[in-house]
Amino acid sequence: MTTIDEQAEIDAQWTTRMRKSLVAKLPPEKLLPDRQPAYMSSWIYVFGALTMAALSVVILTGIVLSLEGPAWWHLSSFGHFVNSLHLWSVELFFFFMIIHLWGKFFMAAWRGKRALTWATGVITFIAAIGAGLTGYLSQTNFDSQWISTEAKDGINAIGVGAFFNVLNFGQMLTWHILVLPIAVAAITLLHLLLVRSKGIVPPIALEADGPLDGGEGGAA
């Protein structure tokens, strides 16, 4: 049995304070809700989840490719197949992400204190473009040689060639399989937690009728 002093000490611990703060910001029923607002009955709301599904395939196939190495993805049938899965899941990732972006842009999805949600989406998009470029450079074929010699002029023109040298294969591979995937995955996770915390943005017409909490009100 804890005394009043012990309880006060427990309440003052940083772990206790952090847990209470996190649970208050994102209670489990908001993190994994049972129902969604009625206004989400449209296919346009599906594209964020589709983007994350594609990203999962990108990461899983990328892990396999990095473990097996270039000779495997160039020369074996299964290596070719996994390499193609990696490429096409990236194509779908960008395809779905851009439709998600258009949808959220026309909804003005930064409304209702959701600016950070929008900003994390923008940063993910930029990091993903970098991951795409370094991915092309990591292929170890004539394409990657051509793209790197073309890209070096652009990168030098903006003055960062000394730090981000597209002709340095080892550096580009590290960016592609370590730095940028961690950035994309971490910011996507933050983006998702912000979406769950703030709720899905209500349509402009609904909001005009009065304040709405996107995560709670009008459950379908």
Helix (H, G, I), strand (E, B) or coil at 219: strand
Instruction: Count Cβ atoms within 10 A of the Cβ of residue 23 and give its class: 0-12 exposed, 13-18 middle, 19 or more buried.
Output: exposed
Residue closer to other proteins (CB basis): 19 or 35:
35
The answer to whether the CB of 101 falls within 8 A of the CB of 50 is no
Does 99 engage in binding with other proteins (CB under 8 A)? Answer: yes
User: Which of these, 133, 143, 129, lies nearest to 74 by C-alpha position?
Assistant: 143
The size of the chain, in residues, is: 220
Chain centroid to CA 181: how far?
9
Q: Of the candidates 12, 42, 67, 163, which one interacts with other proteins according to CB under 8 A?
A: 42
Does 77 engage in binding with other proteins (CB under 8 A)? Answer: no
Residue closer to other proteins (CB basis): 15 or 42:
42
Residue closer to other proteins (CB basis): 66 or 145:
145
Does 93 engage in binding with other proteins (CB under 8 A)? Answer: no
Segment near other proteins (CB under 8 A); pick from 3-11, 14-22, 35-43, 51-59: 35-43
For residue 81, the minimal CB distance to other proteins (Å) is 11
How far is it, in rounded angstroms, from Cα 205 to Cα 107?
Answer: 10
End-to-end CA distance of the chain: 45
Segment near other proteins (CB under 8 A); pick from 1-9, 21-29, 61-69, 92-100: 92-100
Does 163 engage in binding with other proteins (CB under 8 A)? Answer: no
Does 118 engage in binding with other proteins (CB under 8 A)? Answer: no
Identify the H or E element spanning 18. Answer: helix 14-25
**Residues at the contact surface with other proteins, assessed by CB under 8 A:** 41-44, 46-47, 91, 95, 98-99, 102-103, 220
